[in-house]
Structure 1
């Protein structure tokens, strides 16, 4: 099924004044695989897709944040916590914690992990990061109550919960927002639908480039390029409200010529975002 298209975004983008040293880096931690037929409507059973488990580090002078946490040290245990039908072959890489340590990153800079939502493949790496979890009330409730929150409940045990409120104005078509740093450089917008409080994270770089990290509004770029939703059965399994996901996908498509849209699990969507440097610069350099 294709989504009904909203008009392409033509209004000016919201004002943002990112600091000159704001930067983002991708931190791939592994992949898992599934047939395209299980990822997007119209996908081929012969097309094997690699699903990314990638975190994104936002470096900001007011303190850094990760968008999602990737795979963790106890990945095998986390996969065993899933229903058998939801398990998939995976290839693990180094955890975010390991990669930050290897790059000489100063962990005192890291304010926490801003989760797009609490499904296992976005939060597994919390088990080795052990930093505050940035989350809104609806998503925290979903993580506490829903069967798909089992891994989150395990890895977040004992962690500080930094609960933020989506009490800001509509943002780029989404109904509510939270400006993380107060400068428009990182704005969290309510998407909902996939989970109760799932979000999109918009990042404005000093270069003027804009990113929209849309979590699981679609798993692959087919959702943006062809408007392809998840197959019917997967919508029933994966989404709490398929109509809301459909609307969020329409909004993302409408933004796709003004904002670089990054579905969480499309490996190719992260191309162009730099990896961590081999030696991370110290604060103030």
Structure 2
């Protein structure tokens, strides 16, 4: 098993989007009327998993359109709250090309949730054999605000139902290959249907924690993300992550937007 940690751009956000704040500002995560001292750049990550049973991409980073027309790509509302940046060579299409991989070579693209910084680059890999997201997230993305449907319009996306698994705050998820080697773990709260990825490496479990927390500080200090659809569920998901991180068979936990994470290969 080999996991490539890829940075597929970065995003300029208010720190209250990453770390929930108590403040008189009613919606600090928007960054509206908040100064530059409260803003931060964080990476937008994707992960390529070389599994014995196939190639799996987790999330897709920014689309190359972010380079030249991001206001149109994001829409005016989202653009007023955060900005994207995608250096040359960092799109998921360019990253895969540098590895000699075409999108049609991907057996699965797993979308942990459907927020823009996780699905923006989806059309770069729409030729993958199967694109999957949780059915709860799929339904939420068509009902709740905060999603940009144009990012997946015209793309064939399949959904999976939650089943009983041994892990997670609700012990619900999906065993991708049915062999207990890679679980999609239901970790809701930041969004209704978000999943984290548990990968069984040689020496233990690697956790790709999506946006359950924005960095190690999140679960160590139990700081929720600034945006949650269910605060109680977000707390339970973060508490599960904290507890799991302390297990002897947990080799590492990686949050999607953690600036401390350096791209590389985990074997």
Q: If the TM-score is normalised by the length of the shorter chain, which range does it land in? A: 0.7 to 0.9
Listed as ranges, the gaps of 5+ residues in structure 1 are 1-21, 276-285
Report the secondary structure of 2:146's partner residue. helix
Give me the whole-angstrom Cα distance separating, in 1, the residues matched to 2:196 and 2:103: 25
What's the RMSD between the two structures over aligned residues?
Answer: 2.4
Q: 1:53 aligns with which of 39, 44, 50?
A: 44
Q: Is the contact between residue 50 and residue 266 of structure 1 (CA under 8 Å) also seen in structure 2?
A: no
Would you identify which runs of 4 or more consecutive aligned residues in structure 1 move more than 4 Å?
45-48
Summarize the Cα distance change of 1:106–1:41 in structure 2 as closer, same or farther, 3 Å threshold: closer
Could you tell me which residue of structure 2 aligns to residue 274 of structure 1? 265
Q: 1:190 aligns with which of 186, 189, 212?
A: 186
TM-score (norm 2): 0.81
Q: 1:247 aligns with which of 236, 245, 249?
A: 236
Q: Is the contact between residue 209 and residue 255 of structure 2 (CA under 8 Å) also seen in structure 1?
A: yes
Instruction: Map 1:1-285; keep pairs closer than 5 Å.
Output: 22-41=1-20, 46=37, 49-75=40-66, 76=70, 77-88=72-83, 90-93=84-87, 94-130=90-126, 131=128, 132-150=130-148, 153-206=149-202, 208-230=203-225, 234=226, 238-258=227-247, 259=250, 260-268=252-260, 270-271=261-262, 273-274=264-265
Give me the whole-angstrom Cα distance separating, in 2, the residues matched to 1:223 and 1:248: 11
TM-score (norm 1): 0.77
Task: State the aligned residue count.
Answer: 243
Summarize the Cα distance change of 1:239–1:47 in structure 2 as closer, same or farther, 3 Å threshold: closer
Give me the whole-angstrom Cα distance separating, in 2, the residues matched to 1:156 and 1:41: 29
Q: Is the contact between residue 168 and residue 187 of structure 2 (CA under 8 Å) also seen in structure 1?
A: no
Higher relative contact order (CA 8 A, sep 6+): 1
Q: Is the contact between residue 116 and residue 151 of structure 2 (CA under 8 Å) also seen in structure 1?
A: no
Report the secondary structure of 1:243's partner residue. helix
Give the deviation of 1:117 after TM superposition: 0.5
Summarize the Cα distance change of 1:174–1:262 in structure 2 as closer, same or farther, 3 Å threshold: farther
Summarize the Cα distance change of 1:171–1:111 in structure 2 as closer, same or farther, 3 Å threshold: same
